[in-house]
């Protein structure tokens, strides 16, 4: 009942990407990786402490299969790498009361929407997180997270991050110090999910304070899936205020001045999709939209409705290894008028 | 008799820290981690070569549980992370003659004072290393270390580092080169310990050349513990010359101009403490003091006696998992007049 | 038939190095590491998918035993470390058709010349790769590699890298963008080897486009070894055009203006060597030369013939652990007139 496991996922393939906007076009053909699932290795374990109590931990490190570089963001203030950038948690778990974790991990929305998205929160821009930013595999540092056990299919979770990115900052009070009182970006993440027979439902709420902008970004989402056996139907709706939880825009490809935080911004997000098993394979499809309902005064220019059409296929070679193909097309990507983003790729994924 | 082991320690909790000095106050409340023991994962192994000879190795990587960032310092000259920042050694060991290691590891003082400190060289500023700098988990790169086997409770060790931090530097002799002949910071670490029944004693000596300052920092320490069964008593005395082996002061919180190296500085260090088992738990307590006996001419301002009062409690949930609580208060921290440093925290530690 | 293995090599010792050129001398004595084999740890696995098909992966991370720093180069654009800098591949393998890998790994020449070099492509400048640059453990990112099974001793392999260093770059077409159309450095690596009884032969060809210089570096090599039982004889010849695949010169020690890429450069490379088992030990010896047959107009100054004389000895303590000694002397190192490079060292290597 006590175990330590070394595990991982590897995912690589060949693909083509194109981004167009205004007079500019960026494209690349070559190796793609981490498309279905981010590349990772990790160590996790559980120790039985008696009386239904367990110590549990998980250390998970992301990397780029094409280059071997660490993933999950920039280095720390002294150039330290983000070794366990995907997860670094230690917790106590009880059969009757649930699990309490300390450390870095994904928010509740990114945990509970995995079953709602036909693409399982993977496949790059096909991920429902592209338009529902709080489910876009958002990770918080310094988080205390509590999740109940599964009660007749229901599970509730709530997390509080003392600082979402980087070590706990000092609140310095001294003559001449003009810093904000506290530079720690605090966040709350919470949600409820229900899974029973053919039904899966998830309801989540997130809010994150961005101290530097003095803005609190908020988002709630509701989603569900129903398995009709021949096909499974998926749908979700969400609403965002004051910015996104993950902008997803690299500086290199920035098309408009949207930076992810924009006071007064209100975005409605929609997704409908389906997934259908065919032999050893599975067809995946979705349409998603992020509709900016108000154009904040603080934003120069118009924000347009982003729409994304995605079609995927996975084929199982074994329980742990599968092939995949993906095609996805976005228009008005990043809310930019007439910006288009296309991804086509094939790959293989292996879990160990 | 041949083995490879994947192991680690995870340690996280919630805490409050406050540092005051002059007109300034810095405080933070939030996730703490690595308080009792630094977070780490590692791989170690041993191969039986016959005739009582073994090949032994240990690779140990430190990290921050709150963020997943690598620990143990800044990156290398090309941005390489310190992957195995805690230890990277390969050695040969013989039943009769001891062990010879090559690589990066802690100095002898930090190995032999573990049993002398009631806090086991952990618990942040409660660590006896805060006032006895050479036992403050000092690590050296490029070290050759020899330790005898245990002879009736006695063990002796000595290490020599060709360069304490970073790759071996070149000694360049060329027209116009004004560099020092050799930029490698060399160090010697040595000690003797005795452990038998209720008695533990350690005697250590360290010296480290700081080429850039052209100063040799020196420290010797003596310490002991005696187990009276109801309580265990702990005491230590040490003397330091020309600076500290680890300043422990982050630039952010620097209160006076003390940088750790100060030619002419002489510091006497004292610790008395006790530890007492109570059921599954253990109470830990110590008072420590670093007393600057001379105020070097090179130092602008006065250096005051640092005193630290610490009280801790650990409670075992199993052999590998425990809870802890810690309270520690320092006055004249970092030798700065009237600077105070307070730490209060609770946490959980798990070893795998 | 399904496995995951944690493995590694540790290699450390004591050595002396000296480099002389013109009026300058650089020397160092101290810990050496990774001399016989680069220090590494890794995880590799294989899953049987049925019908002779397997999923295979290998993640291999290099480090410096003296410091614990990651090896294999600089960090990525956001400071990410090169975690799996030695290898990061996922592939499918079939008993009948061979293996197809995706990711970062060494080129074919560095795989197939291991049996040709008496020093097994290790031992620092004794490595035949010092004068045959395409076999100098060249690693490419974003590579698709195919290798046949062993057919009666023959094996053929070919790899194509979409970008040899770093993530896939975008080809950006926009008003005012003066970048090259495509900044990706593409490379082809291919080779054939034969090993049967006493005979080993390898033939390789590499070409790599350096977009920033707009030059294509090319090299072909042929080599062989024949085991006369008392001694094994080794020989190789190669030819390089327009530059080297790995310059091996650190900026710190640059003696002339040669940077590794030089349009019009033509270099012939030669090696003869021998290896001879003596009891549990093995003597290794080689002479190698890189002869610049043309002095490119683009290069200021003369390029001289580099010659390297190397003598080594390994002594097995077990199948997995050995001691070694190495002495190697190069004249006209880096093609620089009268530059000399000397290495003397002893060490221990352990595989787990």
Q: What is the pLDDT along chain A (352 residues), one digit of tens a residue?
A: 689 999 999 999 999 999 998 888 999 999 999 999 999 999 999 999 999 999 999 999 999 999 999 888 666 666 678 899 999 999 999 999 999 999 999 999 999 999 999 999 999 999 999 999 999 999 999 999 999 999 999 999 999 999 999 888 888 888 877 665 678 999 999 999 999 999 999 999 999 998 888 899 999 999 999 999 999 999 999 999 999 998 665 555 556 667 678 888 999 999 999 999 999 999 999 999 999 987 776 666 788 999 999 999 999 999 999 999 999 999 999 888 889 999 999 999 999 9
Tell whether the torsion through CA atoms of C71, C74, C75 and C79 is positive or negative: positive
> Contacts of residue B81 in chain C, CB cutoff 8 Å?
69-70, 75, 81, 83
Alpha-carbon dihedral angle through residues A131, A132, A135, A140, given to the nearest 10 degrees:
90
> Contacts of residue C77 in chain B, CB cutoff 8 Å?
none
> Contacts of residue A343 in chain C, CB cutoff 8 Å?
none
> Which residues are within 8 A (CB) of C340 and not within 5 positions of it... i.e. 6 or more apart?
C18, C19, C20, C21, C329, C330, C331, C333
Closest partner residue to C81 among A19, A81, A321, by Cβ? Answer: A81
Task: Go through chain B and tell me how many residues it has.
Answer: 352
- CA–CA separation, A161 and A173 (whole Å): 23
Is the CB of A80 less than 8 angstroms away from the CB of B71? yes
Angle, CA of A185, A190 and A195, to the nearest 5°: 150
How far does B182 lie from chain A, in Å, by closest CA? 26
What is the rounded average pLDDT of the residues B158-172? 92
Closest partner residue to B41 among A59, A87, A165, by Cβ? Answer: A59
B140 to each of B105, B125, B137, B188, B212, how far by Cα in Å? 6, 21, 10, 10, 17
Nearest C-alpha in C relative to B61: C68
Nearest C-alpha in B relative to A4: B352
Nearest C-alpha in C relative to B60: C68
CB atoms inside a 10 Å sphere around CB C198: 12
**Among A119, B26, A206, B80, which Cα is nearest to C76's?**
B80
What are the pLDDT digits (tens) for A125-184?
999 999 999 999 999 999 999 999 999 999 999 999 999 998 888 888 888 776 656 789
CA atoms within 13 A on the CB side of B302: 7
ipTM value: 0.95
> Contacts of residue A81 in chain C, CB cutoff 8 Å?
70, 75, 79-81, 83
Nearest C-alpha in C relative to B103: C66
How far does A322 lie from chain B, in Å, by closest CA? 29
**How are the residues of chain B apportioned to helix, strand and coil, as percentages rounded to the nearest 5?**
5, 60, 35
Is the CB of B66 less than 8 angstroms away from the CB of A75? no
**Among C151, C163, C130, C249, which Cα is nearest to C194's?**
C151
Copy the structure tokens of residue A286.
């979705």
Is the CB of B170 less than 8 angstroms away from the CB of C28? yes
> Which residues are within 8 A (CB) of C24 and not within 5 positions of it... i.e. 6 or more apart?
B172, B173, B174, B175, B177, C255
- CA–CA separation, A340 and A22 (whole Å): 10
Nearest C-alpha in A relative to B322: A55
Nearest C-alpha in C relative to B179: C26
Mean pLDDT of chain B: 92
Among the CATH numbers 2.40.160.40, 2.40.160.10, 3.10.129.10, 3.30.930.10, which is that of A3-74+84-170+183-351? 2.40.160.10
- CA–CA separation, A188 and C77 (whole Å): 31
Closest partner residue to B68 among A55, A79, A85, by Cβ? Answer: A85
- CA–CA separation, C271 and C284 (whole Å): 13
Cβ contacts from B onto C, under 8 A: 162
Closest partner residue to C352 among B4, B70, B78, by Cβ? Answer: B4
SS (H, E, C) C187-247: EEEEEEEEEECCEEEEEEEEEEEECCCCEEEEEEEEEEEEECCCCEEEEEEEEEEEECCCC
Closest partner residue to A78 among B65, B73, B321, by Cβ? Answer: B73
Tell whether the torsion through CA atoms of B29, B34, B37 and B38 is positive or negative: negative
Fold of C3-351: Porin (2.40.160)
> Contacts of residue C65 in chain B, CB cutoff 8 Å?
88-90, 102-104
Is the CB of C317 less than 8 angstroms away from the CB of B80? no
Copy the structure tokens of residue C307.
């010659």
Q: Using DSSP, state whether A126 is helix, strand or coil.
A: helix
- CA–CA separation, B224 and B112 (whole Å): 10
The answer to whether A299 and A262 have CB atoms below 8 angstroms apart is yes
- The pLDDT profile of chain C, 352 residues, written as one tens digit per residue, is 689 999 999 999 999 999 998 888 999 999 999 999 999 999 999 999 999 999 999 999 999 999 999 988 666 666 678 899 999 999 999 999 999 999 999 999 999 999 999 999 999 999 999 999 999 999 999 999 999 999 999 999 999 999 999 888 888 888 877 665 678 999 999 999 999 999 999 999 999 998 888 899 999 999 999 999 999 999 999 999 999 998 655 555 556 666 678 888 999 999 999 999 999 999 999 999 999 987 776 666 778 999 999 999 999 999 999 999 999 999 999 888 889 999 999 999 999 9
- CA–CA separation, A142 and B66 (whole Å): 4
Is the CB of C69 less than 8 angstroms away from the CB of B87? no
The answer to whether B29 and B1 have CB atoms below 8 angstroms apart is no
> Contacts of residue A41 in chain C, CB cutoff 8 Å?
43, 59
Closest partner residue to A141 among B66, B252, B348, by Cβ? Answer: B66
- CA–CA separation, B189 and B195 (whole Å): 20
- CA–CA separation, A75 and B69 (whole Å): 8
The answer to whether C288 and C136 have CB atoms below 8 angstroms apart is no
How far does B128 lie from chain C, in Å, by closest CA? 26
What is the Cα C187 distance to its own chain's centre? 15
Is the CB of B70 less than 8 angstroms away from the CB of A90? no
DSSP secondary structure letter of residue B302: -
Strand partners, C55: C47, C92
CB atoms inside a 10 Å sphere around CB A184: 25
List the subunits that have 3+ CB pairs under 8 angstroms with C.
Answer: A, B
Closest partner residue to C70 among B81, B143, B163, by Cβ? Answer: B81
**Among A282, A335, A341, A344, which Cα is nearest to A304's?**
A335
List the subunits that have 3+ CB pairs under 8 angstroms with B.
Answer: A, C
List the subunits that have 3+ CB pairs under 8 angstroms with A.
Answer: B, C
> Which residues are within 8 A (CB) of A150 and not within 5 positions of it... i.e. 6 or more apart?
none
CA atoms within 13 A on the CB side of B330: 27
Fold of B25-38+106-142+158-169+185-351: Porin (2.40.160)
- CA–CA separation, B229 and B251 (whole Å): 43
CB atoms inside a 10 Å sphere around CB C97: 13
> Contacts of residue B32 in chain A, CB cutoff 8 Å?
168
- CA–CA separation, C154 and A246 (whole Å): 52
What are the pLDDT digits (tens) for A177-224?
766 567 899 999 999 999 999 999 999 999 999 888 889 999 999 999
Cβ contacts from A onto B, under 8 A: 162
The answer to whether B309 and B331 have CB atoms below 8 angstroms apart is no
What are the pLDDT digits (tens) for B197-226?
999 999 999 999 988 888 999 999 999 999
Nearest C-alpha in B relative to C67: B141
What are the pLDDT digits (tens) for C296-352?
766 667 789 999 999 999 999 999 999 999 999 999 998 888 899 999 999 999 999
**Among B158, B164, B253, B247, which Cα is nearest to B211's?**
B164
Q: Using DSSP, state whether C112 is helix, strand or coil.
A: helix
The answer to whether A63 and A71 have CB atoms below 8 angstroms apart is yes
Copy the structure tokens of residue B43.
């791989």
């Amino acid at each position: 009942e006590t175990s330590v496991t070394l595990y991982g996922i590897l995912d690589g393939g060949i693909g083509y990407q194109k981004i167009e906007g205004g007079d500019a076009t960026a494209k690349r053909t070559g190796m793609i990786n981490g498309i279905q699932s981010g590349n990772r290795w990790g160590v996790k374990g559980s120790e039985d402490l008696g009386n239904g109590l367990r110590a549990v931990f998980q250390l998970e490190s992301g990397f780029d299969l094409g280059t071997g570089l660490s993933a999950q963001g920039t280095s720390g203030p002294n150039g330290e790498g983000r070794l366990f950038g995907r997860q670094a948690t230690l917790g106590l778990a009880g059969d009757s009361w649930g699990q309490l974790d300390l450390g870095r991990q994904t928010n509740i929305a990114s945990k509970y929407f995995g079953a709602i998205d036909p693409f399982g929160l993977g496949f790059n821009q096909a991920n429902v997180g592209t338009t529902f930013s709080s489910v876009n595999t958002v990770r918080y540092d310094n988080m205390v997270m509590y999740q109940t056990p599964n009660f007749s299919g229901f599970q509730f979770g709530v997390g509080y991050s003392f600082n979402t990115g980087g070590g706990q900052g000092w609140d310095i009070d001294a003559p001449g110090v003009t810093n904000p009182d506290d530079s720690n970006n605090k966040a709350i993440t919470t949600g409820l999910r229900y899974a029973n027979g053919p039904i899966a439902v998830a309801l989540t709420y997130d809010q994150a304070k961005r101290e530097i902008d003095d803005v609190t970004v908020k988002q709630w989402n509701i989603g569900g899936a129903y398995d009709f056996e021949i096909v499974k139907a998926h749908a979700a709706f969400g609403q965002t205020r004051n910015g996104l939880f993950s902008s997803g825009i690299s500086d290199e490809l920035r098309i408009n001045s949207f930076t992810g935080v924009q006071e007064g911004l209100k975005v409605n997000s929609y997704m409908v999709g389906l997934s259908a098993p065919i032999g050893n394979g599975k067809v995946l499809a979705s349409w998603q939209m992020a509709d900016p309902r108000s154009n904040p005064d603080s934003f120069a220019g118009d924000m347009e409705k982003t729409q994304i059409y995605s079609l995927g296929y996975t084929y199982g070679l074994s329980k742990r290894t599968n092939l995949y193909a993906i095609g996805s097309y976005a228009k008005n990507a990043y809310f930019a008028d007439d910006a288009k983003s296309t991804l086509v790729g094939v790959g293989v994924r292996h879990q160990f």
